[in-house]
Structure formats: C-alpha cells, structure tokens
Amino acid sequence: MKQTISLIALLAATPALAQDTRHMDAHEHGVGALYIAIDGTTVAMEFSAPGADIVGFEYAAQSEADRAAVDAAVATLATPLDLFVMPAEAGCSVTQASAALESEYEAHGDHDHDEHEHEDVHEHEDHEEHAEEAGHTEFHAQYTLTCANPQALTEIAFAYFDRFENAREVEVQILGPSGAQAFEVERDAPTLDLRSLF
Amino acid sequence: MILRLALASLFARALTVGMTILAIALSVMLFLGVEKVRTGAKASFADTISGTDLIVGARSGSVQLLLYSVFRIGNATNNVTWQSYQDIAARPEIDWIVPISLGDSHRQFRVMGTTREFFDRYKYRQGRSLAIAQGAVMDDLFDTVIGADVAATLGYRVGDPIVVAHGLASFTEHKDQPFRISGILAKTGTPVDRTVIVSLQAIEAIHVDWRSGAQIPGQSTPVDVIRQMDLTPKAVTAALIGVQSPLQTFRLQRAINEYPQEPLLAVLPGVALQELWAIVGIAETALLAVSAMVVVTALIGMMATIFSSLNERRREMAIFRAMGARPGTIFGLLVIEAMLTAAMGAVLGLALLYAGLFVAQPVLDSAFGLWLPIDAPSLREGLVLAGVVAAGALVSLVPAFRAYRLSLADGMMVKS
C-alpha cells in the first residue's frame, strides 16, 4: 500500500518536475530585435520589441484606451514595409505578415506560435488574467516578403522609429548570401546599410 | 636644384639625419605592424569557420562558445547531453550536424572527438574543405587523424602509435589504449592543424577505466573487451549545424535557445565573431593610438633636431642668402629636407616591416596559429606612409619659419 502511494506520488510529481523549467528571455526597454534571413527571392523577417517601446506600457491592457492602443500597434506592426522601408528597386512585396502581443508568462505555453501565425492577431485578449502580475510584455511580428531583385536591398530605412516614439534602438541580425552579420540601428541614424552583405 | 641641395645637405649630416630616419622608420614599422597583426588576426579568425550556420553548446556566452568549440581558446563550456544532441539532430530544419567532444589532450595538442562527417562538413577560408595529406580518414575505433602542426612538431607519420591523455597537460596518460595515426591533414592555418581527431566512440573508450578522473587501480579493460562495449557517448561539447534553408536558421536558433530540457545556446558564428571584435576593438584602438603616438614622437624628435641644426647652420644659411637665395628658398629647403627624411624613414620602416614579417611569419603561425600574409602594401598602408611624409612636412614648418625669419637679417654679420 505504502509502495502504491509513493508510486502515485511519484507519478504525480513527475509532470510537475517536467514543467518546472524556468526561462526568461532578455528584455531591454527601448531595444527591439529584428532578424532577417534572405534566401533567393524570399526574405523572412522576425521582429520583437518590448511593450514599453510600442505602446508605452507593459501591464495587460485594461482600459478601452489601452486596448485600442494595443490593437492599433498590432495593426501597424503587421505592415512591415511601412516600418522597414526597402529600396523600390528591390521590388519587395509582403506575402505574409502577422503581429501579436505576448506576455512573458504566456510565452512558454505558446511555443508553437510559429505554426498558427495567421490567427494570433487578437491573441492579446487572452492576457486579461495576468493583469495583476507585474510582468514584461513583448510584441512579436513575423513577415515573409518576396523581393524580385534582392541584390538591390542595399539599405533599409527604419521608419519604425517615427511610428514608435519610445523605441531607441533595434538590434539587427541578417543572414545573407555572404553569411551572418549583426548591426545596431539607432534612432539618431535610422538607416541600415546592407552593402557589405552582397 | 633645391632638391639636390637638400639631398646634399642631408648627406653632409648623415649621422644625425640617419638617427632621425631610424626613429621614424621604427615608429612606422610599429604602426604598420600593429595594423598588420590586427587585420591578420581578424582575417585568420574569420577564415577559421565557414559554411557552418549554427554552433550549439551549453548555455554560456556566444563568444565563449565560439572560442572554445572552434578555436579551443578560453574556458571549457559545459557539455551537452547526448539525448539533447539527438533531439536537436532530429529536428526538421537540420541539414547536417557534426558533434564535437573536447577535453582530452595529446602532449600540448587538443584531442577532438567527432564523426567522419566532420571532414566533409568543416569548411574554412570561404568554403575550402579539409584535405588528407597522407593516409586516410579514421576507420577503426583506435584510429586518429592528426593536424599538420601535430605531425610536424612531434614528427609523426601514418601508422605511428599515439597515446591520448585525459585532460590538458596531464601527467596521467591513458597508456592502455593504443591509438594509431591513420591520416595526416594538409595544412589549413586553422586550429585543426593543432588537433588530434578521433571518433566520438574513441573518446568514450579512453575513459572506460576512468571513474571520477582517476584510473581505478589494478583495473585495465583489454582492448578487445572495449571493442565489444556500448560506446555511445553520454555528452558532447558542442555541435556544428548546417540548416536546410537560411530562412529557418533563426527559428532553429530560437528553438535551441528555448529548449526546455537543458539550457542550450545556439550562435551564428559570424555574429559571435562580430561580438568578439566589438570587445577586442577597444584594445585594438588603444594599441593603434599608442603606436600612432610613437610616430608623432618620432616626428617631434625630427622637429627638435631641425631646430638644433638651425644654430649650426646659421653660417650656411647666410652664405645661401649672400649667393642670392631668397628667404623663401631657405624655407623650402628646410621643408624639403624634412619631407625627404620622413619619406626615407617611411620607406625604411616599410622595408623593416617586411623583413620582420618574413622572419616572424612562421614563428607566429606555429606559436599562435596566426597567419600574416605577406602582400604588397595596401592602399591604406600607402596612405599611412603618405600621411607620415605630410606630417613630417607639417612639423618642419615651425623650424622652417624660424629659419625664414632669421635669414632675413641674421647671420650676415659674424657676431663673434
């Protein structure tokens, strides 16, 4: 009997142990991250920025105004070519774009968000229950572009800084034909020079 | 005319001018040498790994992981369990994955456990593959492939037996397992030259009789028993990954960085190198600033010698004036002399640099794995040399102006 109980206890404890992995990503206010991968004519981009940069607060949206701000920000973040302006000669068009707000508490149960990127635009409404917790929030966006002439991607103008006043800096990592490179784009000089990439 | 005069004048004071030229030459050599080592080190690092999309290891820092796994520099990172390695290897984004297991040594050289795929996948210097100079890639459990420097330093040939020790610079050597050299790699100019490569299973085999870091006394498993054992590794140090499509690289990197069962880190080699340069850049700038100051010091030294020569040359200047030279000519003479001195210093400095490179190149290569190419001077170096000459002219303006003013009246009358 005793053995059975300990066995049950063990079984009960095991899933709890398995889930007990704590992990937090770096979170620096004012600093967003942009990942760009170029393969042929396809350009995949992932962008993330702290809630503080985008809407100015990181608690779960409570008032109507908060919610409207989040909705507007998500809508803006879903238009990548208005935020990261590419040269016209490159002939880039958006084939897929999605943006969402994530709190750090939610992020872990939601690892597979890559798979359902089209539907999560209104996901932030699920975050009401975290209203009491003083956590960080982050906006995430994913884009896929098709560029007719990717060699013409010599620079990207970060109109992003004009749209979001709290953003100071974006750390950019780019994978291009000649390997990976990292850049920092700051509000003072909001243009990314990519000539070294080709 | 004035040029010939300047040359003759310099030649007449060969000793002092020679010293000034030497000072400028040494400072120019130092400045260009620092620049050469800086760019050479950068190129050497950047050329060491190519074609690898991600490096995976235990969570540490991206620079530490890169330095330890690829350059075998710095502190060891934690190991990655074999189970996590298998999990990552099974992901759909993976095109190829090559494990690396470090921690043992042979004499002063690192022993690296890996798979045969390493020889196909590891690329250096813009996509060049490793080539076997003699022998073949390891086939047997106790086969090793050694780098060019290992073979050259220790005088090994294909077929020689080799002893692999536990830990670096350890006195307790694994004497039981007779490893054999099956192949010697061609020189690459990368840390692979200083590596003894064995299979992952061999790394396990070395440690069969070893528990908690010391050999169990009186226990020695015979080689044929080891061959029968299950030698699946329990852990690896790092893994090199090639991704199916660049578009998946960042997704795979995030998946590895958020791998819930074990804290892992995936880094893009190019980005990690850039991070390293950002750190090293400060020291580089300081070094460059110091060597630039040495050039400035040498030029100021030249200015001082010109000043002191003015007194000696009052009579000479007066004779020039008496023969009809205008004060402007005297001014020009001094500036041209200074420019000639600086130019000779610069050229001699360049010559010394190349002589130094010629001597130091093999030493630096074998001691630090740093290959400094002997190329024709770059445009940048040409600009530095031109800058030195221009700076020489600039510092000479002060004494030349003084000579100009003095020569208007002074020296015509012999005072004493």
Which tens digit of pLDDT belongs to each residue from B297-332? 999 999 999 988 888 888 888 888 888 888 888 889
Task: Give the residue from A23, A36, A183, A198 with the most B CB atoms within 10 Å of its CB, the best one to mutate.
Answer: A23
Put simply, whether the predicted model's pTM sits higher than 0.80 gets the answer: no
Residue B412: pLDDT band (50, 70, 90) is low
The most distant pair of C-alpha atoms in chain B lies apart, rounded to whole Å, by: 105
Asked if B126 has any chain A CB less than 8 Å from its own CB, the reply is no
Per-residue exposure over B227-263, b if at least 16 CB sit within 10 Å of its own CB, e if not: eeeebebebbbbbbbbbbebbbbbbbbbbbbebeebb
Residue B218: pLDDT band (50, 70, 90) is low
Nearest to B268 among A38, A114, A180 (CB): A180
Kindly report, residue by residue over B172-205, the tens digit of the pLDDT: 455 555 788 999 999 888 889 889 999 998 888 8
- Whether the per-residue pLDDT at B100 is higher than 90: the answer is yes
Q: Within B138-213, where are the H helices?
A: 148-154, 200-206
Confidence (pLDDT) at A157: 93
Nearest to A181 among B50, B251, B274 (CB): B274
Asked if B250 has any chain A CB less than 8 Å from its own CB, the reply is yes
Q: Tell me if ipTM is over 0.90.
A: no
| Residue B275 phi, psi (nearest 5) | -60, -40
Nearest to A44 among B53, B247, B269 (CB): B247
- Work out the minimum CA distance from B60 to partner chain A, whole angstroms: 14
Could you tell me which of B334, B315, B335 has the C-alpha nearest to residue B323?
Answer: B315
Compute the distance between CA of residue B326 and CA of residue B412 in angstroms, rounded to an integer: 13
CA quadruple B6, B8, B11, B16: dihedral, nearest 10: -40
CA quadruple B31, B35, B40, B45: dihedral, nearest 10: 130
Three-state secondary structure call for residue A98: strand
Mean pLDDT score of chain B: 86
Could you tell me which of A45, A27, A29 has the C-alpha nearest to residue A192?
Answer: A45
Percent of chain B with pLDDT over 90: 43
Task: Give the residue from A35, A47, A108, A147 with the most B CB atoms within 10 Å of its CB, the best one to mutate.
Answer: A35
Task: Give the residue from A17, A22, A39, A48 with the most B CB atoms within 10 Å of its CB, the best one to mutate.
Answer: A39
Kindly report, residue by residue over B221-255, the tens digit of the pLDDT: 666 777 777 888 889 999 999 999 888 999 999 99
Compute the distance between CA of residue B103 and CA of residue B166 in angstroms, rounded to an integer: 7
CA quadruple B282, B283, B289, B293: dihedral, nearest 10: 150
Highest mean pLDDT among A77-91, A129-143, B226-240, B372-386: A77-91
Nearest to A39 among B247, B261, B269 (CB): B247
Record: contact B270-A181, CB cut-off 8 A: yes
Record: contact A111-B245, CB cut-off 8 A: no
Asked if B271 has any chain A CB less than 8 Å from its own CB, the reply is yes
Record: contact B250-A37, CB cut-off 8 A: yes
Residue of B210 and B364 predicted with greater confidence: B364
Confidence (pLDDT) at B183: 93
Compute the distance between CA of residue B342 and CA of residue B109 in angstroms, rounded to an integer: 46
Range with lowest mean pLDDT among A60-64, B36-40, B129-133: A60-64
**Amino acid present at B74:** G
Asked if A85 has any chain B CB less than 8 Å from its own CB, the reply is no
- Work out the minimum CA distance from A119 to partner chain B, whole angstroms: 19
Domain ranges of chain B: 2-45+283-412, 54-267
* Averaged pLDDT, B47-74: 89
Record: contact B271-A181, CB cut-off 8 A: yes
Record: contact B250-A179, CB cut-off 8 A: no
| Residue B180 phi, psi (nearest 5) | -135, 145
Chain B partners within 8 Å of A21 (Cβ): 260-261
Chain B partners within 8 Å of A179 (Cβ): 50, 269-270
Compute the distance between CA of residue A154 and CA of residue B80 in angstroms, rounded to an integer: 39
Q: Within B99-199, where are the H helices?
A: 118-121, 148-154
Confidence (pLDDT) at B377: 83
Chain A, residues 44-83, CB within 8 A of chain B, namely 44, 46
Nearest CA in chain B to A176: B246
Kindly report, residue by residue over B245-283, the tens digit of the pLDDT: 888 999 999 999 989 989 999 999 989 998 888 888 898
- Work out the minimum CA distance from B270 to partner chain A, whole angstroms: 5
Chain A partners within 8 Å of B277 (Cβ): none
Could you tell me which of A185, A182, A170 has the C-alpha nearest to residue A30?
Answer: A170
Could you tell me which of B140, B129, B156 has the C-alpha nearest to residue B198?
Answer: B140
Q: C-alpha distances in angstroms, A115 versus A186, B95, B248?
A: 32, 21, 13
**Amino acid present at B65:** L
Q: Hey, what long-range contacts does B292-296 have (CB within 8 A, 24 or more apart)?
A: B292/B31, B294/B26, B294/B27, B294/B30, B294/B31, B295/B24, B295/B27, B295/B28, B295/B30, B295/B31, B295/B388, B295/B391, B296/B391
- Whether the per-residue pLDDT at A108 is higher than 50: the answer is no
Asked if A112 has any chain B CB less than 8 Å from its own CB, the reply is no
Asked if A146 has any chain B CB less than 8 Å from its own CB, the reply is no
Asked if B251 has any chain A CB less than 8 Å from its own CB, the reply is yes
Record: contact B247-A37, CB cut-off 8 A: yes
* Averaged pLDDT, A67-82: 91
Record: contact B250-A114, CB cut-off 8 A: no
Confidence (pLDDT) at B3: 85
